[in-house]
Chains A and B, each alone.
Chain A
Amino acid sequence: MNEFLTGNLQEFWELTGFANAQLGNFVMLAIGLFFIWLAIKKNFEPMLLVPIGFGMLIGNIPFNTGAGLEIGIYEEGSVLNILYNGVSAGWYPPLIFLGIGAMTDFSALIANPKLMLIGAAAQFGIFGAYMVALALGFAPDQAGAIAIIGGADGPTAIFLSSKLAPNLMGAIAVSAYSYMALVPVIQPPIMKLLTTKKERLIKMKPARAVSQNEKIIFPIVGMILTCFVVPSGIPLLGMLFFGNLLRECGVTTRLAKTASNALTDIVTILLGMTVGASTQASHFLTTQTIFIFFLGFMAFIIASASGVIFVKIFNLVLPKSKKINPLIGNAGVSAVPMSARISNNLGLQYDPSNYLLMHAMGPNVAGVIGSAVAAGVLLGFLA
């Protein structure tokens, strides 16, 4: 009897987290707690960092993997694995894009279509980071997956990395979302460094009013044109423009509301939590992760800088009355609407009557389209 009890207790002990814990688990738990602290106390992208941070806690509770309990995120048939399918098979990101489309007002872009080019220029961050990643020894497909962090678009990064480098997806997703949260810290110094005071004071003309018909035509024409150029971007671009059509057509208000609120919230919760849980110590705590974070940082800097520099070059050919304030160049990285808000705040610092928000929203949403196109290009070339 005594042997039976001790035997069972011994067996139970071997199943507990205490018996299976390793240093890596505690490091990852600390990182998860740090993310939660950042979200709650510093208000850095709480909608994303709370699920990711808590997911990290869930994913890094040690357990006996040999016991066949089917509880780990990488164990087929486990609940977490079923939820993780949206990430690994890449169907959460298009759903998020549906919501983004339903939330986004493309008026600023339609009113001033040339701002789309800023969104394209900022994508150089992706390909600049691609070159650096190759120099660091990553294979082309891995380099492409890492470089997409420069698009400043979490769902796009997850979508592409799930296709090109599934083993790096956790680190890429966490890196992308971390830097998106740090956009207010990363971008302003670059913007100040690359612009003169005179340029920061440029006042842009208010955008013209956009008719309802134009708003309806935009998602239809936008989807057809961009997807004809890059068919591999159909999952993201198709859903983005579909969501926008739901919003703008005026007869599917209920669907647009669901897509932009309930659906996006549900998918964000599942996406954030499962991405966090996928960052298990054994997969995450590697030198590759350090490189990925470094490359992500590089990508954000290059993307922000290339957007600002492009506006400066563009201004050389624009008439004086149509000059663009280069402070909106940073908004070409998608990170909607954070980077547009940074343009606005920085503009107000130098001229309290210079509201750049609506102007910056143009390149900002163009950045969403641009990063999805860039992801499609990388997928087409490397998949």
Chain B
Amino acid sequence: MKTKLLIIALALACACGVASAQSRKALRINEVMVVNDSTSIVDDYGQYSPWIELYNTNFAPLQISSIYLSSDAEAIQAAMADKKGKAPLNCSLYPVPLGDERTKIGKRQTVVFFADGKPNRGTFHTNFTLETGQDNWVAIFDADSTLIDCICVPASLPANASYAQIAIDENGDEVWEVRDGDERYITPGGENTIRDTNGKIQKFAEQDPHGFSMAAMAMCIVFSALLILCLAFMAISKIGAAFASHNKAKSHGKTIKEIADEGDAHDSGEVIAAISMALYQHLNAHDTESTILTINKVKRAYSPWSSKIYGMRHTPGK
């Protein structure tokens, strides 16, 4: 029993560990701006600084405290080359501090870090900066310094332009583009794909205004689901019947064919109901006493409040 419990506990612990790891792995670098002169967002000190936007791709909130951010190109490349994806020891990392409620990112939400090299300004200010005129590697590492995501921002990125992830291609690779802020919006703190309409609803409203297609498609799906279930159970009941007749034949010492020839000797519903009623009458017709006498002791606990001695008036003294 103890072994079983131990196995279950271990399995649960492993599952929790995997779940936790998976949720952190869903964190992505979403958009980066290296030169922020005057057109993008200001930080809480009114300064224009380079920024890095992270995106929680989970459909659940994600706590990012204790993860690391880094722009140490050597460390990042070493982690990429490492089999376990671990950053080398003594590399330069910015730890997202514990204890700040704002480090919990909502489902499918973003958070912006200012790469101004001034971590004393708060949680969202890193201890490194991004350099102009050169490739900038940016990475996020898990608490155990395992690489979660990284990106190389090209040196050619113009000032006040951002480098944003816009899609995942058919090979599963991220597609990035340069956004200059004119036609392609820079979106710090927001999703990179701007949705000004609810695509699905709009599509149905335009292409299926009377609902015929929806009705046809949905009825087909509902029928298919229940038809599959129906067919599955027809097959299961046949297999069950075959097993039953096999067992019956075995117990009666006959062949399956002989059993099949005898047919179902089921009683009709009325007969079964009559037998059930008779059994019920037989078993429950008379009330039977339990023949257990229950005598409860009546307790009258003493209390001065109910005492006759204290309640009675004393004879008045003469």
A residues contacting B by CB (< 8 A) are 109-111, 113-114, 116-117, 119-121, 123-124, 126-128, 130-131, 133-135, 139-141, 143, 206, 208-209, 211, 213-214, 217-218, 221-222, 225-226, 229-230, 355, 366, 369-370, 373-374, 377-378, 381-383
B266 touches A381 (CB 8 A): no
Return B264 CB to nearest CB of chain A, in Å: 8
The 4 closest A-B CB pairs, nearest first, are A127-B215, A131-B211, A113-B233, A140-B204
Looking at B16-24, B218-226, B254-262, B305-313, the stretch in contact with chain A turns out to be B218-226
Which of A111, A141, A373, A382 contacts B226 (CB under 8 A)? A373
Return B29 CB to nearest CB of chain A, in Å: 28
A377 touches B218 (CB 8 A): yes
Query: 15 A-B Cβ contacts within 8 A?
Result: A113-B231, A116-B229, A127-B211, A127-B218, A131-B211, A131-B212, A134-B211, A206-B268, A221-B229, A225-B229, A229-B224, A230-B221, A366-B226, A378-B218, A381-B214
Return B239 CB to nearest CB of chain A, in Å: 10
Please name 11 further chain A to chain B contacts, defined as beta carbons within 8 Å, in addition to the given A370-B222, A374-B218, sorted by A numbering. Answer: A113-B233, A130-B214, A140-B205, A140-B211, A226-B229, A230-B225, A369-B226, A373-B225, A381-B204, A381-B218, A382-B200
Q: Which residues of A contact B268 (CB under 8 A)?
A: 206
What is the CA–CA distance of A24 and B280 in the complex, to the nearest angstrom?
56
Return B95 CB to nearest CB of chain A, in Å: 34
Return A367 CB to nearest CB of chain B, in Å: 10
Chain B interface mostly: helix
Q: Mark B189-214, 1 if CB is under 8 A from A, else 0.
A: 00000000010110011001111101
Q: Does B236 contact A (CB under 8 A)?
A: yes
Return B256 CB to nearest CB of chain A, in Å: 17
Q: Does B12 contact A (CB under 8 A)?
A: no
What is the CA–CA distance of A206 and B269 in the complex, to the nearest angstrom?
7
A133's nearest neighbour on chain B, judged by CB, is B211
Q: Which residues of A contact B214 (CB under 8 A)?
A: 127, 130, 140, 381
Q: Which residues of B contact A206 (CB under 8 A)?
A: 266, 268-269
Return B269 CB to nearest CB of chain A, in Å: 5
Q: Which residues of A contact B244 (CB under 8 A)?
A: 211
Q: Which residues of A contact B221 (CB under 8 A)?
A: 229-230, 373, 377
Q: Does B181 contact A (CB under 8 A)?
A: no
B233 touches A110 (CB 8 A): yes
Which of A117, A121, A133, A209 contacts B230 (CB under 8 A)? A117
A114's nearest neighbour on chain B, judged by CB, is B230
Q: Which residues of A contact B212 (CB under 8 A)?
A: 131
B236 touches A214 (CB 8 A): yes
Q: Does B240 contact A (CB under 8 A)?
A: yes
What is the CA–CA distance of A382 and B200 in the complex, to the nearest angstrom?
6
Q: Which residues of A contact B26 (CB under 8 A)?
A: none
Q: Which residues of B contact A222 (CB under 8 A)?
A: 229
Return A279 CB to nearest CB of chain B, in Å: 25
A373 touches B222 (CB 8 A): yes
What is the CA–CA distance of A323 and B120 in the complex, to the nearest angstrom?
81
What is the CA–CA distance of A218 and B233 in the complex, to the nearest angstrom?
8
Q: Does B227 contact A (CB under 8 A)?
A: yes
Q: Which residues of A contact B224 (CB under 8 A)?
A: 229
Q: Which residues of A contact B236 (CB under 8 A)?
A: 214, 217, 221
A120 touches B237 (CB 8 A): no
B200's nearest neighbour on chain A, judged by CB, is A382
What is the CA–CA distance of A211 and B242 in the complex, to the nearest angstrom?
12
What is the CA–CA distance of A221 and B217 in the complex, to the nearest angstrom?
24
Q: Which residues of B contact A110 (CB under 8 A)?
A: 233, 237
Return A112 CB to nearest CB of chain B, in Å: 9
What is the CA–CA distance of A366 and B264 in the complex, to the nearest angstrom?
27
Q: Does B275 contact A (CB under 8 A)?
A: no
Return A23 CB to nearest CB of chain B, in Å: 35
Q: For window 6-50 of chain B, which residues contact chain A by CB distance below 8 Å? A: none
Q: Which residues of A contact B230 (CB under 8 A)?
A: 113-114, 116-117
Q: Does B91 contact A (CB under 8 A)?
A: no
Given the known A-B contacts A134-B210, A140-B201, A221-B236, are A117 and B225 also in contact in the complex, defined by CB atoms under 8 Å? no
Q: Which residues of A contact B269 (CB under 8 A)?
A: 206, 355
Q: Does B232 contact A (CB under 8 A)?
A: yes
Q: Which residues of B contact A120 (CB under 8 A)?
A: 219, 222-223, 225-227
What is the CA–CA distance of A336 and B113 in the complex, to the nearest angstrom?
55
Return B307 CB to nearest CB of chain A, in Å: 46
Q: Does B278 contact A (CB under 8 A)?
A: no
What is the CA–CA distance of A211 and B233 in the complex, to the nearest angstrom?
13
Given the known A-B contacts A131-B212, A134-B211, are A124 and B219 also in contact in the complex, defined by CB atoms under 8 Å? yes
What is the CA–CA distance of A113 and B269 in the complex, to the nearest angstrom?
20
B198's nearest neighbour on chain A, judged by CB, is A141
Given the known A-B contacts A116-B226, A381-B214, are A213 and B240 also in contact in the complex, defined by CB atoms under 8 Å? yes
Q: Which residues of B contact A226 (CB under 8 A)?
A: 225-226, 229
Which of B198, B210, B225 contacts A131 (CB under 8 A)? B210
A113 touches B210 (CB 8 A): no
B223 touches A134 (CB 8 A): no
B225 touches A225 (CB 8 A): yes
Q: For window 240-286 of chain B, which residues contact chain A by CB distance below 8 Å? A: 240, 244, 264, 266, 268-269
What is the CA–CA distance of A117 and B222 in the complex, to the nearest angstrom?
9
